[in-house]
């Protein structure tokens, strides 16, 4: 299996550190709002990578954090007049709902930065003892030049960085020994969440979070570290510096980065304000369609979000679901049980589609080609399965189709439509919750309905609903 390693800028053969096991860490979102579909790209991509390893029989330990302490979370908490904890807890719960809608498996562990502060302090202490870190007025900095391999991931040269950074020097940072040094620990400002440490009451820098959580849940050396390409520098470069300086070992063997999800050819981001949340998309489409859309391009190619591509994804997914549906229908009505010799041979021919699917996935997870092989199988199924087919043949075709779509995380079962009465009942329950001022429950019902494709509209005449 080959994967592109940002570290070597080459496709490399995957050799696990420990046979049959994959240890991977994927940087997760900062939780101060609903996730947008740019954030969803790494979630879907690396979930698919995980699923393929599992399909190949690997035992995957998949760790993905939530950054639940950050300037943006604090700002949002102040705006709403609630605690930072409330903001992060709320958006972690919302993020998990979106993940479920996109059929992204929960990680083996989803650590929260705020629960791991003790370990981070220990790591910073080790870095200080080894001469890789120093303290100034309660702030602890990493001594970047001390780490000889700095720049090896982003392929940047320290002196180029230095000349670029000089103009970026901001006031208050002149206490650093070198402009390239970055923060490991910073003292709190008034009203901010803080933890005690040997240097000041404060909080960790962002980069140290991932170094520590990766070490705690996966060990000092891991197979794969992943995230969006904006994280290569400085986040991942700094993680390497911290982890390798503290542990004295190579941190991750393979570094994987997805390209951006763009809109009008610009990166979708919260700061540019050009984002669409996963929740908004779910008002228009089943989130399986969003997943299919993400997989229709190679993960290292930029992908432009558009209504046309979403419509194409909708009909693409529909073709697969229809084929599965038709196999199920034929199975129920099949006249014979066992496969004939001719069917046995016909089924043998589907091996070729599985091989093509696996070769695509093993060539740096070329999901676009893998999807094409699924379509080949669909076409074959549509042309060879009919009212005369045996139940066994139909079942085997269906199992084969499901084994491939499962790797892609695509669900081929037609979703059971919610019955009108069920919807009405939930709406009644929501009205009752509102009356009782249990707004959390009322919102939860609205979201539950939304993820099932039911949109509510509160009007003066009462609640109206429609199917997305
Ligand atoms: P953030 O919450 O900004 O730290 O992002 C969480 C994850 O989403 C990181 O892996 C980012 O690289 C990734 N990400 C953010 N925006 C995009 C985008 N427009 N396209 C692809 N990945 C993104
Ligand atoms: Zn990270």
Alpha-carbon distance of 347 to 340, in angstroms, equals: 10
- Given pLDDT bands bounded at 50, 70 and 90, which one contains residue 172? low
Q: Is the pLDDT of residue 315 over 70?
A: yes
* Residue ranges per structural domain of the chain: 14-258, 278-407, 420-467
Ligand with minimal distance to 210 CA: 2
Alpha-carbon distance of 111 to 107, in angstroms, equals: 9
Please give the number of the atom of ligand 1 that sits closest to the Cα of 31: 2
pTM attached to this predicted model: 0.91
Alpha-carbon distance of 155 to 298, in angstroms, equals: 23
Q: Is the pLDDT of residue 43 over 60?
A: yes
pLDDT digits (tens, 9 = 90+) for 413-429: 877 777 888 888 999 99
Q: Is the pLDDT of residue 265 over 90?
A: no
pLDDT at res. 467? 81
- What's the distance, CA 467 to chain centroid? 27
**Mutate-to-test residue for ligand 1 from 210, 230, 257, highest number of ligand atoms within 8 A of CB:** 230
pLDDT digits (tens, 9 = 90+) for 191-200: 899 999 999 9
In 3D space, the residue among 85, 65, 67 whose CA is nearest the CA of residue 76 turns out to be 85
Q: Is the pLDDT of residue 271 over 90?
A: no
In 3D space, the residue among 458, 444, 455 whose CA is nearest the CA of residue 418 turns out to be 455
CATH code given to domain 278-407: 1.10.730.10
Residue nearest to atom 4 of ligand 1 (CA): 29
Q: Is the peptide bond before 234 cis (omega within 30 degrees of 0)?
A: yes
Q: How far is the CA of 109 from the centre of ligand 2 (A)?
A: 14
Produce one character per residue of 185-213: b if its CB has 16 or more CB atoms within 10 Å, e if not: bbbeeeebbbbebebbebbbbbbbbbbbb
Q: How far is the CA of 345 from the centre of ligand 1 (A)?
A: 47
Q: How far is the CA of 251 from the centre of ligand 2 (A)?
A: 13
In the chain, count H helices and then E strands: 16, 15
Alpha-carbon distance of 377 to 357, in angstroms, equals: 10
pLDDT at res. 164? 60
- Given pLDDT bands bounded at 50, 70 and 90, which one contains residue 134? very high
Alpha-carbon distance of 109 to 103, in angstroms, equals: 17
Residue nearest to atom 15 of ligand 1 (CA): 39
- Domains 14-258 and 278-407 equal at CATH topology level: no
pLDDT (mean) for 367-396: 98
Q: In terms of DSSP H, where are the helices of 112-205?
A: 117-129, 158-166
Burial of 113 by CB count in 10 Å (0-12 exposed, 13-18 middle, 19+ buried)?
A: buried
Higher-confidence residue: 421 or 24? 24
Expressed in angstroms, the distance from the first to the final Cα of the chain is 40
Ligand 1 pocket, residues with Cβ under 6 angstroms: 27, 29-30, 38-39, 41-42, 227-228, 230-231, 258, 260-261, 267-269
> What are residue 16's phi and psi, to 5 degrees?
-70, 155
Q: Is the pLDDT of residue 96 over 80?
A: yes
Query: pLDDT > 90: what percent of the chain?
Result: 85
Q: Is the pLDDT of residue 168 over 70?
A: no
Q: How far is the CA of 47 from the centre of ligand 2 (A)?
A: 16
- Token pair belonging to 382: 């549509």
pLDDT at res. 165? 57
Residue 19 contacts by C-beta under 8 Å, 6 or more apart in sequence? none
Residue for token pair 């043949």: 393
- Residues, Cβ < 5 Å to ion ligand 2: 27, 210
Q: How far is the CA of 235 from the centre of ligand 2 (A)?
A: 6
Please give the number of the atom of ligand 1 that sits closest to the Cα of 231: 12
Give 220-250 as a DSSP string: S-EEEEEEEGGGIIIIIHHHHHHHHHHHSS-
pLDDT at res. 362? 98
Alpha-carbon distance of 220 to 117, in angstroms, equals: 18
Residue 426 contacts by C-beta under 8 Å, 6 or more apart in sequence? 445, 448, 449
Q: Is the pLDDT of residue 158 over 90?
A: no
pLDDT digits (tens, 9 = 90+) for 389-415: 999 999 999 999 999 999 999 999 877
pLDDT at res. 55? 98
pLDDT at res. 166? 53
Please give the number of the atom of ligand 1 that sits closest to the Cα of 260: 20
- What's the distance, CA 446 to chain centroid? 24
**29 with 95: CB under 8 angstroms?**
yes
Residue nearest to atom 9 of ligand 1 (CA): 228
pLDDT at res. 17? 98
CATH code given to domain 14-258: 3.40.50.620
């Amino acid at each position: 299996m080959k994967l592109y390693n940002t570290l070597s800028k080459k496709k490399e053969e995957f050799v696990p550190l420990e046979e049959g096991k994959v240890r991977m860490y994927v940087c997760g979102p900062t939780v101060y709002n609903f996730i947008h579909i740019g954030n969803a790209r790494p979630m879907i991509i690396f979930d698919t990578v995980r699923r393929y390893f599992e399909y190949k029989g690997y035992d995957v330990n998949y760790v993905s954090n939530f950054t639940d302490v950050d300037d943006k979370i604090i700002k949002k908490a102040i705006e709403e007049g609630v605690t930072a904890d409330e903001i992060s807890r709320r958006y972690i719960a919302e993020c998990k709902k979106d993940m479920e809608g996109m059929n992204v498996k929960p990680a083996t562990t989803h650590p929260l930065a705020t629960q791991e502060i003790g370990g981070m302090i220990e790591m910073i202490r080790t870095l200080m003892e080894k001469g890789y870190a120093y303290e100034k007025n309660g702030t602890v900095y990493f001594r970047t030049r001390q780490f000889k391999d700095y720049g090896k991931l982003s392929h940047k040269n320290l002196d180029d960085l230095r000349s670029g950074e000089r103009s970026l020097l901001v006031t208050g940072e002149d206490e650093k020994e070198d402009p390239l040094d970055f923060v490991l620990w910073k003292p709190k400002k008034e009203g901010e969440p803080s933890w005690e440490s040997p240097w000041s009451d404060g909080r960790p820098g962002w980069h140290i979070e991932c170094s520590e959580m990766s070490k705690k849940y996966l060990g000092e050396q891991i197979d794969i570290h992943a995230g969006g390409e904006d994280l290569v520098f400085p986040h991942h470069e700094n993680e390497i510096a911290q982890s390798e300086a503290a542990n004295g070992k190579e941190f991750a063997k393979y570094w994987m980065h997805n390209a951006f999800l763009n809109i009008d050819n610009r990166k979708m981001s919260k700061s540019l304000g050009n984002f669409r949340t996963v929740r908004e998309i779910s008002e228009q489409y089943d989130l399986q369609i969003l997943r299919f859309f993400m997989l229709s391009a190679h993960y290292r190619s930029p992908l432009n979000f558009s209504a046309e591509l979403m419509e194409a994804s909708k009909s693409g997914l529909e073709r697969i679901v229809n084929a599965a549906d038709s196999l199920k229908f034929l199975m129920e009505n099949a006249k014979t049980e066992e496969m004939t010799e001719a069917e046995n041979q016909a089924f043998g021919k589907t091996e070729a589609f599985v091989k093509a699917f696996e070769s695509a996935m093993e060539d740096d997870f070329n999901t676009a080609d893998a999807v094409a092989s699924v379509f080949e199988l669909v076409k074959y199924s549509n042309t060879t399965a009919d009212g005369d087919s045996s139940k066994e043949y139909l079942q085997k075709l269906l199992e084969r189709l499901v084994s491939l779509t499962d790797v892609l995380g695509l669900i081929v079962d037609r979703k059971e439509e919610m019955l009108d009465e069920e919807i009405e009942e939930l709406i009644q329950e929501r009205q009752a919750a509102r009356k009782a001022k249990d707004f959390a429950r009322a919102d939860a019902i609205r979201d539950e309905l939304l993820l099932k494709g039911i949109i509510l509209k509160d009007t003066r005449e009462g609640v109206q609903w429609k199917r997305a």
